[in-house]
Amino acid sequence: MSLCDDARSAAREVLSHDEVTIVSHIDADGIASEAILSEALSRAGIRPRSVYVRQLEPMTMRQVPQDDTFKVFCDLGAGQQNLLVERGLREDEVLIVDHHVSQPAERSYLQVNCLHHGFSKMSAAGVAYLVAREMDPGNVDLSRLAVVGNVGDMMAREDCGLVGPAREIALEGAAAGCIEVISRDLNCYGTSTRPLHVCLAYNDDPYIAGITNNVNGALRFLQKLGIELQTPDKRWRVWEELLPEDKRLVTSSLVQQLISCGERADRLFSESYLFPGEVARTPLRNAQEFATLLNACGRWTRPSVASAICRGDRGPAFREAEHMLNNHRAVIRELLEYILDTGVEELSHLQWIHVGNRYPDTIVGIGAGMALSRLNMDKPILVMVEQPEDPCLTKVSMRTTERAVGRGIDLQQALTTASAEVGGAGGGHRIAAGAFIPKESEEYFVKRVNQIIAGQLCAEGQGHR
């Protein structure tokens, strides 16, 4: 059975029910997956109910309604099948649409999971799209949301573009005219909304001396190239609206700048995914910024607003989301300043900080990632934050760089191992991971993660000999 065969069986099953509940994550991929499936179901005449959870755990299982509706677990569920068994959910009332590692359980629930077919660089939104396309080939427009979910879940990061079936979905959307795939575009966040010099200065992958974290430096660099950086009415231009020859001039000059500092220039370029149907200079215009908008809503407990945007609301929901995005950015900026002002503790292989109860646990990882480029980028950053709803529990977020991942660092493995040892749970990706641990184990935990990372680097070094 191929992934598409699994998607077809899932589509057939879900369409056979009149009442469906979708349980999904509050992050960009979870919201995009939920929106894909709820839109596809609505188009088929089935009105689903949606529930969003931060993680699927015993406490959040209470949010899953105890009723006769068919339950679709999206972007979660594969790793928590025992919880579904404990809840008493039967095999004929569950579908799991996921891309996380599966946990063996007493019952074999119907599941579509790209990992089971060897595709690790595809997110739940990609899988949800394959199911939606099997429900009706007319759902090809939902490929946009699949791309948003994939990009939001960092599936395009390592390879500077989507690969495998996730990329095929993007190309399918391009063939249908709803996605513009741009190869060798500038690998920079904010190309649709940020003034170009700000966009360059905020980018740290690759790190460009004199430009990264230096807005004035970036501005001087662009001014020297003689590019019209402002429109006649004095608005700063964004990358997307530059003329092709100006884009070439900027990228070739950045390549020279990197090479003169002895850096590689390959990560300067990536494939990007634009949505030509959206208004220019809005965050909806490209997959990365769209994903941030979804994250801003989800992480500030308004995932349904994000879902409405995914499903086409460009009125009240979009205005509310823009407001939340501004707030999201302001709090993250404040967190970034807090980390930099307070300073981090450096161990041999990581740097860490505890931010107490000052910030919500859902955003500390994002702030940590941004702080990293202003700190020692060779050492991953670990941030701990209190859980207001459970003072015995600490949330941990870690971030590192692509370069460190290339040297053998795997934060997902480090946090999964160390948190399991102290009775907690963690997961994520090599470059970005999170965990929940008992508060009393904080001190031991940080040292243990440091030790695991030291071991990862050592093992990689030996492997290269």
Omega before 206 within 30 of 0, i.e. cis: yes
230 DSSP 8-state letter: B
Q: Find the radius of gyration of the CA atoms of the chain.
A: 22
| CB of 153 vs ligand C5P, minimal distance in Å | 7
| CB of 415 vs ligand C5P, minimal distance in Å | 8
In single-letter form, the type of residue at position 82 comes to N
Q: Which two tokens stand for residue 401?
A: 């760089």
In single-letter form, the type of residue at position 320 comes to E
The 338-367 site mask, x for binding ligand C5P (CB under 6 A), equals ---------------------------x--
Phi, psi of 232 (to 5 degrees): -55, -30
Q: Which two tokens stand for residue 296?
A: 């801003």
Instruction: State which of positions 387-426 bind ligand C5P (CB under 6 A).
Output: 397, 425-426
| CB of 359 vs ligand C5P, minimal distance in Å | 12
Shorter beta-carbon distance to ligand C5P: residue 268 or 364: 364
What is the phi-psi region of residue 311: left when phi exceeds 0, alpha when psi lies from -120 to 50, beta otherwise?
alpha
Shorter beta-carbon distance to ligand C5P: residue 238 or 383: 383
| CB of 83 vs ligand C5P, minimal distance in Å | 14
Binding of residue 298 to ligand C5P (CB under 6 A) = no
Instruction: State which of positions 433-452 bind ligand C5P (CB under 6 A).
Output: 433-436
Q: Which residues sit opposite 23 in a β-bridge? A: 51, 73
Shorter beta-carbon distance to ligand C5P: residue 435 or 453: 435
Binding of residue 55 to ligand C5P (CB under 6 A) = yes
102 DSSP 8-state letter: P
Binding of residue 31 to ligand C5P (CB under 6 A) = no
Shorter beta-carbon distance to ligand C5P: residue 129 or 436: 436
d(CA 133, CA 145): 12
Cβ neighbours of residue 248 under 8 Å, at least 6 residues apart? none
Cβ contact 56:80 at 8 Å: yes
| CB of 30 vs ligand C5P, minimal distance in Å | 9
Shorter beta-carbon distance to ligand C5P: residue 80 or 139: 80
| CB of 159 vs ligand C5P, minimal distance in Å | 18
Residues lying near ligand C5P in the complex (CB under 6 A) are found at 55, 365, 397, 425-429, 432-436
